[in-house]
């Protein structure tokens, strides 16, 4: 974990038993002298470097005492695993980490390992079905297996079944088909996302009292969500997004104080929100977007002091958005999306005043380790994600920066004026209030949103002029004020010089660049050839003629232009000008 670079020199010692060079920037070929001299090694970690070339895995069989081996995350390194040679055996190997090593086949030497406890083959190119011997070993040989990660490969067929006691089991982003086996062991973390699994969620999950993470997202699961999932005592992540689940959300979320992420978005869930969600007092992400939930705004969620992401978009929520009266409502909320619902009424000033998490994130932006992402306190591989509209485009944030803030209230029926207090949300990067019935003027206080990158106020009933102060928004990349009742001169300067006509169309009383409508109120006078010529001895018409016939002759025509005001006939006659 330093910044060490260059190749690894040849080893010449025999006594070394532990070698860790991970998380540096070492380059060059993998040091083969390890196999020649370090035959007493029990621990070898060369992961997360820039080693290159080809390594024959059979060479590792010379290290017979090896217990721990990791060469993961060397993007220029390839590993040759000969499928026809399984003679080499590492009798003591219990921990094998071979992620991102360009492995194409399931390593056959694993069949002879007796003490394997942790296996990471993720992010490779392994294709085809999982061998029968691997499934047999999981059931009968590797009964102390703790960690299995086969995600991000091209595996097919049925799901392997890990032994009881496995705390992390990930096979996401493969091509497994069929349903979830009813005999699947209850791992602490079960990640089966991004496959082609179908069927219902088995009721055996109700017995998973030690389950920490259940991730079944991006499959074809149908049926209802088992009611027991809300009451599992140790569950911190429930990710069932992008399936075909229907029915109600589990009604009983117990006060287990463990839930950090609940993602049920992009299903067909209906009914109302269970009030028991307020028991999840350390909840950070609640994503229920793209369902058929019909309810009023859950203001009782404002007591969740750790909530950072709340997405209710594209449901059937209705009514006004008001405060529930919590002392510090939504203090850490940074992503607030209730777009595409049926909310109505005015935008509450007190509601926006409470968004402390959007007011000042200077501590995060100047963190000594640079930009930070949301992560779980347990440090597992799961990343929180969310789909938001950024600069008019639907974008999935596969990792969420702790500095990312946005408010999307678009496609509702909100009315009244834009609260001036929105200008206090100085860290806001995106604001979308489009397609509502908002009236009044654009608050000048929006000039304080110095981090704003997109602003959409289109399709409302806004009046008055566009505040000149908005030209101070130096990061503003997308502006949409179209289809309102704005009037006056469009501000110019800074970012406003980059916006096109479509930012302002549908405002007939606006004028100025980039619109073709001039802001000059004087009636246009018919052009006077004599007046133009009198303005300058070498007006543009004289110059044009001069370029056609020669500079000297052009000067002559220019003088004639002044005297007769009808030079064009002579130009055509003498120069062939048409």
Tens-place pLDDT, residues 537-552: 333 333 333 334 343 3
- 195-233: per-residue pLDDT in tens? 999 999 988 888 877 888 899 999 999 999 999 999 888
Contacts of 209 (CB under 8 A, 6+ apart): 232, 233, 234
List the structure tokens of 88: 């080499």
pLDDT band at 370 (very low <50, low <70, confident <90, very high): very low
List the structure tokens of 106: 């399931």
- Residues 69 and 91: their CA atoms lie apart, in Å, by 13
Question: What value does the mean pLDDT take over residues 175-203?
Answer: 88
- 276-287: per-residue pLDDT in tens? 999 999 999 999
- Residues 262 and 281: their CA atoms lie apart, in Å, by 12
The whole-number pLDDT of residue 523 equals 40
The whole-number pLDDT of residue 85 equals 57
- Indicate the range of 172-181, 390-399, 451-460, 560-569 predicted with least confidence: 560-569
On whether the CB atoms of residues 296 and 321 are closer than 8 A, the answer is no
- Residues 254 and 91: their CA atoms lie apart, in Å, by 46
Cβ neighbours of 95 (radius 10 Å): 19
On whether the CB atoms of residues 163 and 185 are closer than 8 A, the answer is yes
Among 107, 184, 115, residue whose Cα is nearest residue 153: 107
- On the question of pLDDT at 554 being above 70, the answer is no
The whole-number pLDDT of residue 529 equals 35
- Residues 410 and 343: their CA atoms lie apart, in Å, by 10
- Residues 261 and 64: their CA atoms lie apart, in Å, by 43
- On the question of pLDDT at 576 being above 70, the answer is no
The whole-number pLDDT of residue 538 equals 38
Q: What are the φ and ψ backbone dihedral angles of 352, each rounded to 5 degrees?
A: -75, -25
- 11-23: per-residue pLDDT in tens? 888 889 999 999 9
List the structure tokens of 262: 């609940």
| Most confident range, picked from 87-96, 377-386, 451-460, 541-550 | 451-460
The whole-number pLDDT of residue 210 equals 80
- Residues 225 and 452: their CA atoms lie apart, in Å, by 39
Q: Is the pTM for the entire model greater than 0.95?
A: no
How many Cα atoms sit within 13 Å of 407 on the Cβ side? 22
| 563, containing H or E segment | helix 551-564
Residue 472's Cβ-count burial label (10 Å; 0-12, 13-18, 19+) is: middle
Question: What value does the mean pLDDT take over residues 304-312?
Answer: 96
- Indicate the range of 99-113, 290-304, 487-501, 532-546 predicted with least confidence: 532-546
Question: What value does the mean pLDDT take over residues 32-54?
Answer: 92
Among 329, 328, 333, residue whose Cα is nearest residue 309: 333
What is residue 176's three-state secondary structure? strand
| 302, containing H or E segment | none
pLDDT band at 535 (very low <50, low <70, confident <90, very high): very low
Chain center to CA of 48: 24
Alpha-carbon distances, residue 15 vs 10, 20, 61, 179, 497 (angstroms): 15, 15, 18, 51, 69
The whole-number pLDDT of residue 364 equals 46
Cβ neighbours of 428 (radius 10 Å): 25
- Could you give the percent of the chain with pLDDT greater than 90? 60
On whether the CB atoms of residues 261 and 288 are closer than 8 A, the answer is no
- Indicate the range of 34-48, 155-169, 485-499 predicted with least confidence: 155-169
On whether the CB atoms of residues 170 and 189 are closer than 8 A, the answer is yes
- Residues 261 and 291: their CA atoms lie apart, in Å, by 18
| Most confident range, picked from 507-511, 524-528, 542-546 | 507-511
Cis peptide before 514 (omega within 30 of 0): yes
More confident residue, 368 or 340: 340
- 115-153: per-residue pLDDT in tens? 999 999 999 999 999 999 999 999 889 988 999 999 999
Sign (positive/negative) of CA torsion 425, 426, 427, 430? positive
| Axis crossing angle, helix 568-575 with helix 540-549, rounded to the nearest 10 | 10
List the structure tokens of 22: 């991970």
On whether the CB atoms of residues 355 and 424 are closer than 8 A, the answer is no
On whether the CB atoms of residues 339 and 412 are closer than 8 A, the answer is yes
| 178, containing H or E segment | strand 175-178
- Could you give the percent of the chain with pLDDT greater than 70? 85
Q: What are the φ and ψ backbone dihedral angles of 172, each rounded to 5 degrees?
A: -70, 160
Ordered alpha helix ranges (H), 274-390: 349-353, 362-365
Among 495, 464, 463, 459, residue whose Cα is nearest residue 477: 495
Ordered alpha helix ranges (H), 182-292: none
pLDDT band at 160 (very low <50, low <70, confident <90, very high): confident
The whole-number pLDDT of residue 350 equals 87
The whole-number pLDDT of residue 109 equals 86
| Axis crossing angle, helix 568-575 with helix 551-564, rounded to the nearest 10 | 150
The whole-number pLDDT of residue 165 equals 81
Question: What value does the mean pLDDT take over residues 37-65?
Answer: 91
pLDDT band at 518 (very low <50, low <70, confident <90, very high): confident
The whole-number pLDDT of residue 88 equals 63
On whether the CB atoms of residues 471 and 497 are closer than 8 A, the answer is no
Q: Which residue is associated with the tokens 């009742």?
A: 485
On whether the CB atoms of residues 307 and 301 are closer than 8 A, the answer is yes
Alpha-carbon distances, residue 462 vs 272, 290, 428, 483, 484 (angstroms): 34, 29, 21, 9, 5
The whole-number pLDDT of residue 22 equals 95
On whether the CB atoms of residues 322 and 348 are closer than 8 A, the answer is yes
Question: What value does the mean pLDDT take over residues 63-73?
Answer: 94
The whole-number pLDDT of residue 514 equals 93
The whole-number pLDDT of residue 368 equals 42
- 383-440: per-residue pLDDT in tens? 899 999 999 999 999 999 989 999 999 999 999 999 999 999 999 999 999 999 999 9
Alpha-carbon distances, residue 229 vs 225, 251, 252, 497, 549 (angstroms): 8, 10, 9, 54, 88
Average of per-residue pLDDT values in the chain:
85
- On the question of pLDDT at 51 being above 90, the answer is yes
pLDDT band at 555 (very low <50, low <70, confident <90, very high): very low
The whole-number pLDDT of residue 203 equals 84
More confident residue, 171 or 143: 171
pLDDT band at 86 (very low <50, low <70, confident <90, very high): low
CA angle 317, 323, 329 (to 5 degrees): 110
- 476-496: per-residue pLDDT in tens? 999 999 999 999 999 998 899
DSSP state of 436: S
Among 289, 316, 305, 453, residue whose Cα is nearest residue 386: 289
Largest alpha-carbon pair distance within the chain?
Answer: 109
Q: Could you tell me where the beta strands, DSSP code E, fall in 450-577?
A: 454-456, 461-464, 478-480, 485-489, 509-511
Cβ neighbours of 376 (radius 10 Å): 17
Among 230, 239, 240, residue whose Cα is nearest residue 267: 240
- Residues 234 and 209: their CA atoms lie apart, in Å, by 7
């Amino acid at each position: 974990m330093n910044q060490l670079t260059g190749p690894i020199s040849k080893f010449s010692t025999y006594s070394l038993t532990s070698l860790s060079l991970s998380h540096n920037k070492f380059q060059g070929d993998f040091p083969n002298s390890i196999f020649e001299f370090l035959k007493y090694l029990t621990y070898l970690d060369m992961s997360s470097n820039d080693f290159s070339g080809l390594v024959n895995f059979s060479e590792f069989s010379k290290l017979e005492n090896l217990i721990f081996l990791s060469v993961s995350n060397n993007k220029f390194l390839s590993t040759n695993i000969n499928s026809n040679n399984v003679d080499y055996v590492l009798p003591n190997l219990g921990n094998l980490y071979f992620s991102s090593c360009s492995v194409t086949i399931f390593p056959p030497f694993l069949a002879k390992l007796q003490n394997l406890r942790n296996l990471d083959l993720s992010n490779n190119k392994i294709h085809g079905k999982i061998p029968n011997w691997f499934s047999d070993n999981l059931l009968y040989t590797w009964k102390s297996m703790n960690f299995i990660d086969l995600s991000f490969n091209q595996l097919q067929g049925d799901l392997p079944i890990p032994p009881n006691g496995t705390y992390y089991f990930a096979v996401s982003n493969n091509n497994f088909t069929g349903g979830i086996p009813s005999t699947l062991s209850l791992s602490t973390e079960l990640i089966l996302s991004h496959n082609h699994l179908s069927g219902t969620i088995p009721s055996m999950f109700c017995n998973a009292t030690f389950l920490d993470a259940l991730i079944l997202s991006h499959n074809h699961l149908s049926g209802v969500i088992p009611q027991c999932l809300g009451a599992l005592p140790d569950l911190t992540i429930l990710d069932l997004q992008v399936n075909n689940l229907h029915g109600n959300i589990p009604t009983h979320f117990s006060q287990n104080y463990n839930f950090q992420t609940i993602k049920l978005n992009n299903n067909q869930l209906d009914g109302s929100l269970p009030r028991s969600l307020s028991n999840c007092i350390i909840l950070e992400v609640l994503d229920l977007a793209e369902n058929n939930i019909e309810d009023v705004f859950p203001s009782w969620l404002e007591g969740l002091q750790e909530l950072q992401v709340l997405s209710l978009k594209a449901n059937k929520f209705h009514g006004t958005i008001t405060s529930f009266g919590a002392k510090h409502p939504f203090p850490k909320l940074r992503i607030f999306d209730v777009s595409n619902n049926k909310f109505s009424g005015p935008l509450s000033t007190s509601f926006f005043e409470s968004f402390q998490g959007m007011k000042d994130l200077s501590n995060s932006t100047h963190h000594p380790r640079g930009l930070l992402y949301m992560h779980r306190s347990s440090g597992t591989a799961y990343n929180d994600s969310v789909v938001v509209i950024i600069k008019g485009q639907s974008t999935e944030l596969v990792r969420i920066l702790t500095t990312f803030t946005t408010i999307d209230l678009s496609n509702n029926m909100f009315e009244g004026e834009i609260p001036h207090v929105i200008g206090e949300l100085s860290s806001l990067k995106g604001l979308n209030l489009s397609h509502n019935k908002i009236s009044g003027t654009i608050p000048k206080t929006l000039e304080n949103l110095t981090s704003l990158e997109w602003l959409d106020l289109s399709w409302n009933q806004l009046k008055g002029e566009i505040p000149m102060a908005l030209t101070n928004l130096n990061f503003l990349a997308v502006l949409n004020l179209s289809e309102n009742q704005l009037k006056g001169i469009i501000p110019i300067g800074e970012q406003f010089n980059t916006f096109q006509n479509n930012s302002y169309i549908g405002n007939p009383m606006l004028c100025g660049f980039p619109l073709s409508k001039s802001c000059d109120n004087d009636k246009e006078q018919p052009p006077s050839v004599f007046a133009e010529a009198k303005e300058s001895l070498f007006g543009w018409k004289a110059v044009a003629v001069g370029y056609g016939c020669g500079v000297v002759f052009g000067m002559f025509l220019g003088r004639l232009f002044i005297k007769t005001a009808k030079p064009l006939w002579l130009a055509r006659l003498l120069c062939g000008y048409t």
